[in-house]
Amino acid sequence: MASTRTTSSGGEASHTDGAQRHRIKQALREVTDPSTAEGVHPALLPGLGVERAGRSFGIDKIVFSIAAVLVVGVIAWGVLSPTSLSAASGAAFTMVTVDFGWLFSLLTVVVFLFMMWIGFGRYRSVRLGMDDEEPEFSTVSWVAMLFSAGIGIGLLFYGPLEPMTFFQTLPPTYSDVEAGSNEAMHVALAQTLFHWGPVAWAYYALVGGAVAYGAYRKGRSPLISALLEPIFGKRTEGALGAVVDVFAIVVTLFGTAVSLGIGALQIGRGAEIVTGVGPLGNGAIVGIIAVLAVAFVFSAVSGLKRGIRALSNINMAVAGLLGIFIFAVGPTVLLLNLMPGVMMTFLGDLPQLMAQSAATTPDAQGFMSSWTTYYWAWWVSWTPFVGLFIAKISRGRTLREFMMTVIVVPSAVCLIWFTIVGGTSMWFEQTAGALSSAQSGEDMLFTLLHNLPFGAVTSVLAMISIVIFFVTSADSASIVMASLSERGNPAPRRWNTVVWGIALATIAAVLLVGGGQVALSGLQSLMIVSALPFAVVVVLIMVAWAKDLARDPQTIRRRYAREALVQGVRTGIEEHGDDFVIGVVPAEPDKGAGAWLDTEDPALTDWYTPEEPADGEEDAQDAESGEPGEKAARRDGAADQHEAGDGGEGAEGELTAPRA
C-alpha cells in the first residue's frame, strides 16, 4: 500500500512537475490498453464505453416477439371493443390513483432528493463516460433535444390550459385564495410548475443518468434491465431482464402512440381554425398521420446528429420566437412581475405542495387523481422512453452538469413559458373573459393567439411547432424501441427503426379511426396503470445506481486522497511542525491510504473488459468527428484535466502532483 510522505520544505527534490505528469500519462495509457488491463488497480480504471465492451447487439427475438404480441392484442381490444377497454382501464386507473396515490407522492419526493444528492454530493464530478471524454453535442443542441423528446407538445397544449384551469378552480392547497384574482395567478402558475418543473424532471434525470452511466462508463448495454445488474447480477440477462425490457417497449410504444393520436387531433383542429374549413373526418386525420409518419421515420433513420438534432434546433427557435412574440405584444409588465413572484411562490410553497395528499381537504382526492397523482404516474410511465433518449444525448457530461441541465434548465424554461403563455391567458380571461370561448383544450392555444395581433400568422407558427414536436417525439421513440429490441444497440438497424416507427403511426391511426377518443382515453389509462409496477423498478434503479457510484474508480481515488491527506497532514505536523509538504512513499501492508479497500473484490474490476479497436477504427472515428488526433491528446492529458478540474470536495479537490 502507498502512503503519504511528509518532507521538510527545505529539502525539495529534483523531480520536476513535467516528469510527474509524464508518469501519470504513461500510467493512464497502460490502463487503457486492453493487453494490460488485468491486474490494474481498480482506482485507475478510466471507464468503458459500451462500444468497447464486446457486446453483441443482434435482434432479441424473445423480447421482440413478446412485445409484438402484446401490442397486437391490446390494439385488437381497442378496435374491436373500445368501450370494454375504456371500462377496464378506467377501473384500474381509479385503483392506482386512489389506493396508491400516496406511493407516487412519496416516490416523487424520494427521487427528487436522490437526484439533488447525485448532482451536488460527493459523486458530482463523475463523468457519464471515460475520464477524459468530451460531450458529444453542444449544450444548445442538447437542451433543444431534451425538450423535443420530453415535453414539447405538452408545453404547447397545456401552456394556456393548465394555469387557466387552476386560475378558475383553485387547487386544494390554495383553497383560501379567491378564484380569478391576481393572487390566483401566482398560485395557479406555482401549482403548474410543481407538475412540470424540477420535481417532474427528476424522474427523467434518474433513468437517463443511470442508463448513461452504465452504458458509457461501465460498458453495459443501454437497457432498463441492465440498470439492475448491481443488484441481481447476470440474472438481468435472462428472464428477469426480458420482462423489464418488454415492459419498457410496450409502455414506450403506447405512451407515444397516445400522444401522437392526441397531437394529430390538435393539428387537425388547428387546421380547421386557421383555414376555416369544416370538421375534418377520419380520412384527413389518417392523412396527417401518414405524412408525419414519413417525416419522423426519415428523421429517425437519419440518426441523432442529422435528423433529430436539426429538427430540435429548428423547433427551439420557432417555439422561442412564439414565446417572445406573446411576451412582447401581451401584458409585458404583468408578466415581468409574475416571473419572480411565481418563482418565489413555488420555492416557498414547495414543501406544502409536496405534502399535499388526498387527505388534505374533502375535495383533494378528486384533484390528486385528476392532476398530481396522474402526472406522477405519467412521468414514471414515460421514464423508459425519455430516460433512454436522454442517455443517448448526454454522453461525456459530469453528473453535476447533467443534473443542472436536465433538471434546472428545463424547469427554468417551463417557468418562463408557462408564465408567458399561462399568464397572458389568465390576463385575457380576467379582463375580457376571452379564453372561456375555447371549445376544448385543443382550441385554447389558438384562441389565445387569435386575441393577439397577427393571430393567423402565429397560429400557423404554432402548428409548425406542434408538427415538429410530433416528429421529434416519434423518431426519438422509434430509435429507443429499436435499441431495446436489439439488446441495447446504441445504433439500431435502420429497418428495425422503421418497423417501430410504422407501428407507432399505425397504432395512432387505428385507434383514432376505430375507437376515437374512447379508445385513446382507455389506452392512456392503461399506460398510467403500468406505472405502478414500474415504480418498483424506479426504486431498484436508485439502489443499484448508488451501489455502482460507491464503487466507481473516481470514488475510490477520492477516498484514497482523503485518507492520504489525513495521514500526511497529521504526520507532517507531528514531525515537522509548519514546514512540510506531502509526497508518496510505500507503507507497511494494511497501514497505508488504501487499507480500507479490498482490491481483490471482483465487483471492482469485472466490468472492465475492453476490446481492442480494429486497425484504423479510432482514426476513422476522429476523422468522422472532424478532430483528428484530438482524442489521443485528450487521453494523454486526462489525469491533469480530470483530477485538477472538479475532482473532489473542499481540500480533496486541491490535491495536485506532489513535489518530491
Q: What integer pLDDT is reported at residue 603 of this predicted model?
A: 82
Separation of alpha carbons 140 and 133, rounded Å: 19
Band the pLDDT of 644: cuts 50, 70, 90. very low
The top-scoring range by mean pLDDT among 322-336, 548-562, 589-603 is 322-336
Mean pLDDT computed over 84-88: 78
The CATH class that applies to domain 88-553 reads mainly alpha
Beta-strand relationship, 581-586 and 2-7:
antiparallel
Provide CB contacts within 8 A for 544, sequence distance 6+.
210, 227, 228, 229, 230, 231
pLDDT of 122 strictly over 80: yes
pLDDT of residue 659 exceeding 60, the answer is: no
Q: Which helix (H) or strand (E) holds 407?
A: none
Q: Outline where 485-609 has alpha helix (H).
A: 494-514, 516-550, 553-576
pLDDT (mean) for 435-449: 80
Give the pLDDT band (50/70/90) at residue 623: very low
Mean pLDDT of 395-407: 92
Strand partners, 4: 584
Which are the contacts of 83, defined by CB distance < 8 A and separation ≥ 6?
Answer: 518
Q: What is the pLDDT of residues 4-58, one digit of tens each?
A: 544 444 444 444 455 555 444 444 444 444 433 456 788 888 888 888 887 778 8
**Residue 611: partners with Cβ closer than 8 Å, 6 or more residues away:** 34, 52, 53, 54
Question: Residue-wise over 433-458: b if at least 16 C-beta within 10 A, else e?
Answer: ebbeebeebbbbbbbbbbbbeebeeb
pLDDT at position 14: 40
Q: How far apart are CA 252 and CA 254, in angstroms?
A: 6
Contacts of 135 (CB under 8 A, 6+ apart): 142, 394, 395, 396, 397
Find cell 385575457 and name the residue: 428
**Residue 619: pLDDT band by 50, 70, 90 thresholds?**
very low
Lowest model confidence (mean pLDDT) among 325-329, 395-399, 527-531: 527-531
User: Taking 70 as the threshold, does the pLDDT of residue 622 lie above it?
Assistant: no
Residue 440 has pLDDT above 50, yes or no: yes
Q: Residue 307: what pLDDT? A: 59
Contact yes or no for 193/418 (Cβ under 8 A): yes
pLDDT of residue 37: 45
pLDDT at 217 over 90: yes
Residue 271: what pLDDT?
Answer: 81
- pLDDT score of 400 more than 60: yes
Whether residue 218 has pLDDT greater than 90: yes
pLDDT computed for residue 522 by the predictor:
64
401: pLDDT confidence band, cut at 50, 70 and 90?
Answer: very high
In 433-515, where does DSSP find H-type helix? 441-450, 455-484, 494-514
In the predicted model, what is the mean pLDDT of the chain?
80
Calculate mean pLDDT across residues 518-531: 71
The confidence score (pLDDT) of residue 195 equals 94
The stretch 369-384 carries a mean pLDDT of: 86
d(CA 334, CA 204): 32
Query: According to the model, what pLDDT value does residue 642 have?
Result: 39
**pLDDT band at 547; cut points 50, 70, 90:** very high
Listed range (191-200, 399-408, 602-611) with the worst mean pLDDT: 602-611
Q: What percent of the chain has pLDDT over 90?
A: 31
Ranges of each domain in the chain? 88-553, 612-647
| Tally: H helices and E strands in the chain | 25, 2
| Res 109: pLDDT | 94
> How many Å apart are CA 563 and CA 16, to the nearest integer?
25
**How confident is residue 193, by pLDDT bands cut at 50, 70 and 90?**
very high
Grid look-up 416523487 returns: 108
Q: Is the pLDDT of residue 63 over 70?
A: yes
Alpha carbons 371 and 169: distance in angstroms, whole number:
12
CB count within 10 Å of CB 522 equals 27
State yes or no: pLDDT of 657 exceeds 60: no
Residue 357 CA to residue 372 CA, distance in Å, equals: 9
Residue 451 grid coordinates: 386575441
